[in-house]
Amino acid sequence: MNINNTLPVILSLIPLALGIVWKLSNDPHTTHKSMGLTAIGVLTGGLVYMRSSFETEPALLLLASAILLSGFCAILSQEDTQQSSNIHASTMIVLGLSLGVILHQTIVSRIFLCGLLGFIAISLNREQQNTYRTKIILLHITLAIIFSLGSVFMGETLQLFSGLFLAVTFLPLAPFHLPFVGTIKDAKGSLSSFWIVVWLIIGLGELNGIYSSLTTNMLFALSLLALVSAVYASLAALGQRLNSLFVASATVAHTALVWGLLDVFPGFPKWGIPFGITLAFVMGGISLAFSFVRMRYGWKTLGILPGLASPMPRFGVTMVLLVSFALFLPLFPTFSGLMFMPTIVNTNVEIVVISFLFLVVWLGGGWYFLQMLHQTAFGEARSDVPYSDLRLIEFVAVSALLLGAAFSGLIH
C-alpha cells in the first residue's frame, strides 16, 4: 500500500482511536479539548499535504475540510460539564469514521460507513425508548448497512439503487429522514451541530458518486419527491416546539432544493456540493447557538425564553446573522447553477415542479425562520432568568461556521 492510500487511513484512524480510548476510559480528563483541537490541526495539515502532493478529487477535499471545521467548532465551544468528556469522545469517533467515508474508495469507505451507521444505531438505542418509531429507524439503519456492504459486490444497477438509498438517507428526503431527525433530536451539547454537518456531507459524497448514473426519469421522480418532502418538512418546522426538531425539519426542507435542482442544472459538483456545505454550516450554526442556551438553562422548547437579544447581545447578533443567511439559502444554488452552465429544462411540467419547490422552500423558510427569531431573540426578556451571554469562544465557533458558509456559498 503506497502513501496515497495509507495517509487517508492514518488521518481517519487518529481521531477514531482517540475517541474510542476516551469512550472506554470514561475518565473526565480536562485535556480532552486541547488534545482534540490538536488532532484536528494535525488532520488539517494532512489534508493540505494531500492537496499539494496527490491527485485527490477537489470535491472530496472540500467535503473533508467541512467536517474538520465543524468538528473544530464543536469541540472548541463545548462547555466543561459532566457530559463534556463523552461528547468530546463521540465527536472524535464520528469525525474519524466520517473522514474514512469521504477520503477512501470502494470497500474501505463502506467499512467506515458501516461503522458510522453502527455507532448511530447504538447511540439511538441507548437514548430512545423502545417505540415503533425507533424500530423503524433501526430497521432503516440496518438496511443502509446491508446496502453499503452489498454495493461493493453488486452489479451496476443494484449499486446505483444502493447508492441512491444511502444518498436520500444522508441527504434526507421524506420519508427517508427519520434516522437524521432521531439522531439530531437526541444528540447532546455541541454534538447536534456536528451531526448536521457530517450527515449532509456524507449525503453529498454519496450523491456525487451516483449523479452521473441517474437517468432522466429518475431525476424527474426525485424532483417530485423533493417537492413533497419540502412541503412536509416546512409544515413540520412550523409546528415544532422543540428547537432540535425545528432545526432538523428546516434542514430537511432545504435539502429538497439539492434534489429538485439536479434536473435543472447539470454539473452537480460545481453548484450542489458548495450549496450543500453552505446549508450544513448555516443549520449547524443555528443548532450550535441553540445548544449554548440549552447548556445554560436546559431550554429545549421554543418560546420559553423570548427576548434573548437584549440580555444576551452576542446571542442576538448571532441569531440575526444566521437567520438572515438562512432566508437567502434558496438563492445560492440558483446563482451557482446559472454561473457555471446554462439551465436545461425539458418540459413545462419540470418548470412547474421546480417553481413550486423553490417557492415552498423560500416562502416556508421565511415564515418559520422569522417565527423562530421572534420567539427567541425578540420580545420581552423574563425577569426570573439569570442571563449569561455567549462566551467569546462560543461566539468565535458560530462565526467560523458562518464564514465557512459564506466562503462555500459566495466565493467557492
- Could you list the mean pLDDT of each consecutive 10-residue stretch along the chain, which spans 412 residues? 70 91 76 89 90 80 94 89 84 94 86 94 73 88 90 78 93 94 90 96 93 88 91 90 92 92 82 92 94 86 84 89 87 62 53 77 85 84 83 93 89 62
Instruction: State residue 412's pLDDT score.
Output: 58
Between the CA atoms of 66, 61, 257 and 265, what dihedral angle is there, to the nearest 10 degrees?
150
Instruction: State residue 338's pLDDT score.
Output: 52
The model's pTM: 0.93
Q: Which of 145, 151, 147 is nearest to 107 (CA)?
A: 151
Neighbours of 157 (CB within 10 A): 9
Q: Are 30 and 78 in contact (CB under 8 A)?
A: no
Instruction: State residue 378's pLDDT score.
Output: 83
Instruction: State residue 16's pLDDT score.
Output: 93
Cα–Cα distances in Å, from 111 out to 102, 149, 183, 395? 12, 7, 20, 36
The cell for 247 is: 432545526
Q: What 8-state DSSP symbol labels residue 407?
A: I
Instruction: State residue 129's pLDDT score.
Output: 62
In angstroms, the CA 50 to CA 113 distance is 22
